[in-house]
Amino acid sequence: MSTINKDEIQKFSNLADEWWDVNGKFKPLHMFNPIRIDYILEEISKHFKIDRNDKQFLKKLKILDIGCGGGLISEPMANLGASVTGIDASEKNIKVASVHSKKNNLEINYINKSPEQLMEKEKFDIILNLEIVEHVDNIDLYLHSCFNLLKKDGLMFTATINRTFSSYIKAIIGAEYILRWLPIGTHDWNKFVKPEELQKKLSDISFTFVDIKGLEFNPILRKWKKSENLSVNYIICSSKN
């Protein structure tokens, strides 16, 4: 059994050279990154009782970034001292991420694998699933694999897109066809996951719900913000007890 959707992997492999171009095809992720990172660090700080003022405050934590792409999340986590492993089913993504991290003198363990293929002896304190579940096959296997890779009392962050009329208008019609933020066909609305569906899947595997937030784009300020509105982008924080 596999979570790899070869069509999805090829889609992102074709864009791999643009991961670090802030004005390229991944511009939306570069705009999105600060609010995602802020939320993740806030929840890590609360859960592990660590002072965020310490520039290396993640130094005792082992993080797995699944579907790491070019390393847009892996690198900021490594800069804060975390021991980071980034995995991606696209070999080209891993090559791009590895080259970029070396240029920045960062030691990040990049591996061309999916989570069910990862046979780690040591488990991770934190798992990042950011904008991944809408691109995988067999979400249940995917989440089970994540559970097995997470330490007891570890945290997992799962960010995805709700399956609503609003998400169809904003994430597909708006972002792909009108604003051209993303290549047409990046998302399949039918693969979007409702928060209640995702929460049930996580609960069935014995994850414990910690928090959920919506992430909203302000077109006037051209900035993202945390929100209680879950109708489009949202992120769930869960733990393994």
* 8-26 pLDDT, tens digit each: 899 889 989 999 999 888 8
Instruction: Identify the bridge partners of residue 237 per DSSP, sorted by sequence position.
Output: 157, 211
User: How far is the C-alpha of 132 from the C-alpha of 124, rounded, in Å?
Assistant: 18
User: How far is the C-alpha of 192 from the C-alpha of 37, rounded, in Å?
Assistant: 22
Q: Is 101:71 a contact under the CB 8 Å cutoff?
A: yes
Sheet holding 62-66, edge to edge: 109-111, 83-87, 62-66, 124-130, 150-161, 233-240, 207-218, 223-227
Mean pLDDT of the chain: 93
Residue written as token pair 């920045």: 104
pLDDT at 180: 78
User: How far is the C-alpha of 74 from the C-alpha of 76, rounded, in Å?
Assistant: 6
118 Cβ contact list (under 8 Å, min separation 6): 64, 87, 111, 145, 149
**Burial bucket for residue 58 (CB in 10 Å: 0-12, 13-18, 19+):** buried
pLDDT at 187: 84
Domains and CATH numbers, the chain: 6-240 (3.40.50.150)
pLDDT at 28: 84
E strand or H helix that includes residue 152: strand 150-161
**Dihedral sign of CA atoms 144, 150, 156, 158 in order:** negative
| DSSP 8-state assignment for residue 49 | T
Q: Mean pLDDT across the stretch 68-95?
A: 97
State pTM to two decimals.
0.93
Q: Is pLDDT of 123 > 90?
A: yes
Q: Mean pLDDT across the stretch 108-135?
A: 93
Q: Is pLDDT of 179 > 80?
A: no
User: How far is the C-alpha of 97 from the C-alpha of 95, rounded, in Å?
Assistant: 5
Residue 111 structure tokens: 């591996």
Q: Is 142:3 a contact under the CB 8 Å cutoff?
A: yes
φ, ψ at 129 (rounded to 5°): -115, 90
pLDDT at 55: 87
